Amino acid sequence: MKRHSHQRDIILEEVRRGKTHPSAQEVFDRVRPRLPKISLGTVYRNLEQLAAHGVIRKLELPGQQRRFDGDTSEHYHIRCLACGQVDDIPGPLLVQIRQLPDTLNNYTILGHRLELIGICPRCRETAGPNPSNGQ
């Protein structure tokens, strides 16, 4: 990020809009109405750059495509097993994880990833995956 770009500004605005956790393709779809000539590669590159600089967070979800989060505060996520929707879990990190030793199994510990798995209210009510939820 050695200089500004209009594309990056718009991408950041769209990632920050709402509390969703969009994939690169979803960001692309949201940006396109404003920048019809933008390409998907530009979206990927800028999302990675913004995440590398801590402006947004990258969520690498097991078995799913990568998502991005405009909220950089420390928080966990819960993910719907049926539709893939990702929501925030407010509150502090687990105390037990905070208290882990510096080394374990001879590894130097740098961090952790935790996500809860569940069924979102919409999928529970409709008794099936709700495609409009995201996946």
Give the footprint of a second copy on this chain (CB under 8 A).
Answer: 60-63, 66, 78, 80-81, 87-89, 94-97, 100, 104-121, 124
Q: Which does 62 bind (CB under 5 to 8 A by kind): DNA, a second copy, none?
A: a second copy
Least distance to DNA, CB of residue 90, Å: 26
Q: Which does 104 bind (CB under 5 to 8 A by kind): a second copy, DNA, none?
A: a second copy
Q: Which does 115 bind (CB under 5 to 8 A by kind): DNA, a second copy, none?
A: a second copy
Q: Which does 53 bind (CB under 5 to 8 A by kind): DNA, a second copy, none?
A: none
Least distance to a second copy, CB of residue 61, Å: 6
Burial of 35 (0-12, 13-18, 19+ CB in 10 A): middle
Burial of 21 (0-12, 13-18, 19+ CB in 10 A): buried
Closest CB to DNA among 87 and 135?
135
d(CA 121, CA 50): 32
Q: Which two tokens stand for residue 33?
A: 């109405």
Number of residues assigned to the chain? 135
**Helices 6-16 & 24-31, crossing angle to 10 degrees?**
110
d(CA 3, CA 45): 14
Closest CB to a second copy among 35 and 61?
61
Binding residues for DNA (CB under 7 A): 1-8, 23-25, 35, 37-42, 44-46, 48, 65-66
d(CA 111, CA 108): 9
